[in-house]
Amino acid sequence: MRNRFDEQLFELNREIIEMGAMCEEAIASAAKAMTTGDLELAAKVKDNGSVIDQMERDIEGRCVKLLLHQQPVASDLRLISAALKMITDMERIGDQAEDIAEIVTFLEGRTTKDMDLIEVMACEVIKMVTFSVDAFVKRDVELAKKVIAHDDVVDDYFSKVRYGIINMITGNSADGEFALDLLMISKYLERIGDHAVNIAEWLIYYVTGTHKEV
């Protein structure tokens, strides 16, 4: 019985890693689309969103079955609990990557070159998502802590971008709508960073049994 349970836990672990990789691809593609104005790539991000949504449902179903039909020990329960929390954040990362792609489509090829700081911010957010998934793969608490600490960097970039957008509107009121689109993109990036932090925190909970909210 335990061997079968271990196999199912292995599959759960594999599925979480696969979903994490899909989220990494989604945010990286959305960021590339916004800097290049690639509408085909933006459309692909939106198409992949449904795949990420289905992954969340599948993993959630597996977790429920494990809880109902098996007898997990404490460490197993932590993994299942952390998995349920992490896939929610991963799904939201996918949603917000889609939101960015939708704005890129609306801009019809106009890029974020007018606001280079957004591109830098996007690179920092991608790092956070990648490292949070890597921390789970490696069960690396120290890497997870670095993800959490890096959120301050992203928040600082968001503040700078917001200030830059205010100056953009002041200097050219005709660009007000475009400026608001840039603000929305930067806000979505900031939220993705928050979700990466959540993933890192739940990895720490799984490994150590301690979560900041518990």
Domain extent listing, the chain: 2-208
Looking at per-residue pLDDT, the higher value among 166 and 52 belongs to 52
Looking at per-residue pLDDT, the higher value among 9 and 203 belongs to 203
Confidence of residue 113 (pLDDT cuts 50, 70, 90): low
Q: Nearest 5°: CA angle at 190, between 60 and 180?
A: 120
Reported as a pLDDT band with limits 50, 70 and 90, residue 109 is: confident
Question: What confidence score (pLDDT) does residue 157 get?
Answer: 95
Distance, CA of 117 to CA of 60 (rounded, Å) = 37
* Per-residue pLDDT tens digits for 26-81: 999 999 999 888 999 999 998 888 899 999 999 999 999 888 876 778 888 899 99
CATH topology of domain 2-208: Methane Monooxygenase Hydroxylase; Chain G, domain 1 (1.20.58)
Percent of the chain with pLDDT over 90: 66
Nearest to 150 by CA among 119, 123, 128: 128
Q: Are 200 and 82 in contact (CB under 8 A)?
A: no
CA separation (Å) from 175 to 38, 165, 168, 181?
21, 10, 7, 10
* 26, two tokens: 């989604």
- Give the model's pLDDT for residue 197: 97
Identify the DSSP state of 104: H
CA distance 136 to 13: 9
Residue 69 CA to residue 143 CA, distance in Å, equals 34
For 117-162, write each residue's pLDDT tens digit.
Answer: 899 999 999 999 999 999 999 999 999 999 999 999 999 999 999 9
Looking at per-residue pLDDT, the higher value among 74 and 202 belongs to 202
Q: For residues 172-211, b (16+ Cβ closer than 10 Å) or e, as one string? A: eeeeeebbebbbebbbbbbbbbbbbbbbbbbbbbbbeeee
Average pLDDT, the chain: 90
Q: What's the half-sphere exposure (Cβ side, CA atoms, 13 Å) at 157?
A: 23
Question: What local confidence, expressed as pLDDT, does residue 1 receive?
Answer: 56
Residue 214 predicted with pLDDT over 70: no
**Higher pLDDT residue, 114 or 182?**
182
Q: Is the pLDDT of residue 114 over 90?
A: no
* Residue 75: CB atoms within 10 Å: 12
User: Which one-letter DSSP state was computed for residue 37?
Assistant: T
